[in-house]
């Protein structure tokens, strides 16, 4: 179903007080996708309220003594191309690495050589300082935990897009509690706790995957359960049994930068 010109005009008027230009007020989501279970919103619903904006404080984070350093600013020795496990060909320079130009790369995501399950992850990223697009075409990448559970990376600073596609959203499912994005080009931080799903010997789901996220020091996801493995324009599910695996970073053809990445493996039953 397409929006009529009158409805579109009303939407533009309604969004004007939020600081969006007429062009930014145009729909960025969808009106024909499936409804999410237990609610009134569709996947990538354009009408779903966007998170309020919160200005984050300045934070730094050094790797603790028990962390595995996945990137220390020097090389991609802990990473490989996700598709064929060949050496990672993303660009390393000036203490960070960057999604490469398609013409200079085999393309596709990169993944850790090591496999993980329950983890604490610290990662810093920056979208391009020069804004050349909007909505999902602006600083788009993603962090995929074992089993294809995505945490969205996006330039969400004064950039209207569908609510479940913003920075620190569980893509296609849960928007962040607030929008804590910094300006384009500025370094941003995710501090994440990921709990892997559990299955019994017959392949029955015992516990869903959960995630807690601090974006620039601001809580944006509080032990939120995933609906299942992430997809685009569909409702996620747990139709496939997943286990320990690599963590990957998405190549969405936007030159997003990453630095200071470390991870801690968690024993969630240590005190039992």
Residue 211's CATH number: 2.60.120.560
Does residue 28 belong to any structural domain of this protein? no
Query: What's the confidence (pLDDT) of residue 101?
Result: 76
pTM for the whole thing? 0.84
Does residue 5 belong to any structural domain of this protein? no
pLDDT band (50, 70, 90) for residue 123:
very high
pLDDT band (50, 70, 90) for residue 149:
very high
What distance in Å separates the CA atoms of residue 178 and residue 75, rounded to the nearest whole number? 34
Does residue 42 belong to any structural domain of this protein? no
Does residue 33 belong to any structural domain of this protein? no
Does residue 20 belong to any structural domain of this protein? no
Q: Give the burial class of 93: count Cβ atoms within 10 A of its Cβ; 0-12 exposed, 13-18 middle, 19 or more buried.
A: exposed
In sign, the C-alpha dihedral spanning 80, 86, 87, 90 is: negative
Q: Give the burial class of 111: count Cβ atoms within 10 A of its Cβ; 0-12 exposed, 13-18 middle, 19 or more buried.
A: buried
Query: How many domains does the chain fold into?
Result: 1
β-bridge mates for residue 199, sequence order: 205
Q: Give me the domain span that covers residue 133.
A: 47-265
Query: What's the confidence (pLDDT) of residue 9?
Result: 47
The token pair at 140 is 């788009």
Does residue 27 belong to any structural domain of this protein? no
For the chain, the straight-line distance linking the first and the last C-alpha, in angstroms and rounded, comes to 53
User: Which helix (DSSP H) or strand (DSSP E) does residue 191 occupy?
Assistant: strand 188-195
Mean per-residue pLDDT, 246-253: 93
């Amino acid at each position: 179903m397409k929006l009529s010109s009158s409805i579109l005009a009303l939407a533009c008027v309604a969004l004007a007080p939020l600081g969006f230009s007429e062009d930014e007020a145009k729909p960025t989501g969808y009106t024909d996708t499936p409804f999410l279970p237990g609610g009134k919103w569709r996947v990538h619903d354009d009408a779903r309220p966007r998170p309020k904006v919160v200005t984050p404080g300045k934070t730094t984070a050094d790797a603790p003594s028990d962390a595995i350093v996945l990137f220390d600013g020097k090389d991609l020795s802990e990473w490989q191309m996700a598709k064929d496990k060949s050496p990672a060909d993303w660009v390393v320079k000036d203490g960070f690495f960057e999604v490469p130009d398609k013409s200079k790369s085999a393309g596709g995501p990169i993944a850790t050589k090591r496999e993980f399950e329950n983890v604490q992850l610290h990662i810093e990223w920056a979208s391009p300082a020069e804004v050349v697009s909007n909505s999902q075409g602006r600083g788009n990448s993603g962090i995929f935990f074992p089993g294809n559970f995505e945490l969205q990376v996006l330039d969400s600073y004064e950039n209207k897009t569908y609510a479940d596609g913003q920075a620190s959203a569980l893509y296609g499912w849960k928007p962040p509690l607030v929008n804590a994005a910094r300006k384009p080009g500025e370094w941003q931080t995710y501090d994440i706790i990921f709990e892997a799903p559990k299955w019994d010997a017959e392949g029955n789901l015992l516990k869903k995957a959960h995630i807690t996220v601090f974006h620039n020091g601001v809580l944006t996801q509080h032990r939120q359960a995933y609906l299942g493995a992430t997809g685009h324009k569909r409702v996620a599910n747990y139709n496939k049994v997943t286990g320990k695996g690599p963590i990957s970073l998405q190549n969405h053809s936007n030159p997003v930068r990453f630095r200071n990445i470390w991870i801690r493996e968690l024993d969630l039953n240590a005190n039992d």
